[in-house]
Amino acid sequence: MKKLILISLLSLGLIGCASLELEFSTSPAEAEIKRILALGLTHTENLSEARKLTNPVLVSEVVQELNTRNDNALIEAENVAKYAEKVKVSDNNSDNQIKFTGPEIYESDKVGILDNYDYKDYFLLGWKDKNNGLMRHQLHLSIKYTSDNWRNYYSASFCDKWQGCSDEDQIDITLINRGADSCSASICDFTEIMKLNLSEDFLRSNMETGFSIRFNSIKAKNKITISSEYTKGYLKVAK
């Protein structure tokens, strides 16, 4: 009896594994696309290779997907070039460094149920040492908000690809400047400007995906995202 139960359990396990394999198996079109792209051909040659397939339906699916991917790649390349064109380069002989200033990104987030907004302005900044070629980078962020007091941002958290941001591994940030204006009896428009050091390895390893970072205060948390296209455009110049 025990043997029969064991055999039944093993059978169920094998069936479950088989169903999982089927669920996550690659479709014929995906397999052919992967094979063709691995050849390292031009887009025109990729289409020629796809049309050699014997199944007309499969040919249609593969050609359509190859065209879509090529269109997306062209759009991305254009955006990367636009970001690269906006990177400012300053060659200062006095400190023997080359400075790279990425284009500024402006965003606004609605806060609460009232018509209050957080206004964010951020960009990448880098320096190259002429003596040893070493690069260092920073992310600069300015946040303007309306409140009855300072938020006092104190740390940053890196976010994963699911946009979850770690509360455990928080990184110190540096306050550059802050100010208040348009004050009434109880509130002001506050601005806090801060920076975060980023390594060359970090930027290079996140070129294909981009990255998100959350800046933390007791009263609020603000997340910003540097896109893959922005990162590639900046690093295309800052090298």
Q: pLDDT digits over 171-227, tens only?
A: 999 999 999 998 988 889 999 999 999 999 999 999 999 999 999 998 899 999 999
Helix (H) or strand (E) holding 47: helix 43-50
Q: Evaluate whether 66 touches 36 at the Cβ level (below 8 Å).
A: yes
Write out the two tokens for 82.
């636009």
Model confidence pLDDT, tens digit, residues 47-100: 888 888 888 888 788 888 888 888 788 888 899 999 999 999 998 767 789 999
Angle between helices 56-85 and 28-37 (to 10 degrees): 50
Q: Tell me 183's DSSP state.
A: -
d(CA 78, CA 86): 13
Could you tell me which residues are beta bridge partners of residue 213?
158, 224
Q: What is the pTM of this model?
A: 0.76
d(CA 180, CA 194): 15
Q: Evaluate whether 151 touches 192 at the Cβ level (below 8 Å).
A: yes
Residue 120 has pLDDT above 90, yes or no: yes
Write out the two tokens for 42.
């031009």
User: Phi, psi (5° rounding) for residue 101?
Assistant: -115, 115
